[in-house]
Amino acid sequence: MVGSMSNFVNLNEALQSMKTDPSTARDPIKRMFVFDGAFTTADVAVIEGKRKALHTHREHDELVLILEGEADFQVGKETRHVRVGDLILIPRDTLHGPSLLDGGRLAALSVFAPFFDRSKPDIQWEPEEGV
């Protein structure tokens, strides 16, 4: 595990203390990494405002558990409305992400496999509409 990460995390407290990892500070989705294992990484992530955040992880499968809010969420060619408690599987190299209404907020727990090495670029962001 990396640095001062613990084997236990309260997700509500993690969201309240949200300290965005510098590697995601300029991304549409802000992430705070909570676990790094030999084969997996987990983060809590927040996106706010009216926006889409479509992207692809070339090297990682991802499980996303919605913790707060609701949004339309695209995985490949399928889009569904998600809310608290929904679990989403995103295979590696698949375009995915939420689309929020104006003023919306979505928080989620993401688990990546294999280990998410933040020193290497892996996320490819799609341009937002109208940008």
**pTM of the prediction?**
0.89
**Overall size of the chain counted in residues:** 131
DSSP three-state, residue 68:
strand
CB atoms within 10 A of CB 60: 22
Mean pLDDT of the 85-98 span = 97
Burial category of 130 from C-beta neighbours within 10 Å (exposed 0-12, middle 13-18, buried 19 and up): exposed
Pairing label, strands 105-113, 61-68: antiparallel
What mean pLDDT do residues 36-42 have? 94
Domains of the chain: 21-117 (2.60.120.10)
| Model confidence at 99: pLDDT above 60 | yes
Looking at residue 50, its pLDDT comes to 76
pLDDT at residue 27 is higher than 70: yes
Q: What values do phi and psi take at 93, rounded to 5?
A: 60, 35
Give the separation between CA 31 and CA 8, rounded to whole angstroms: 18
Per residue in 57-85, pLDDT tens? 999 999 999 999 999 999 999 999 999 99
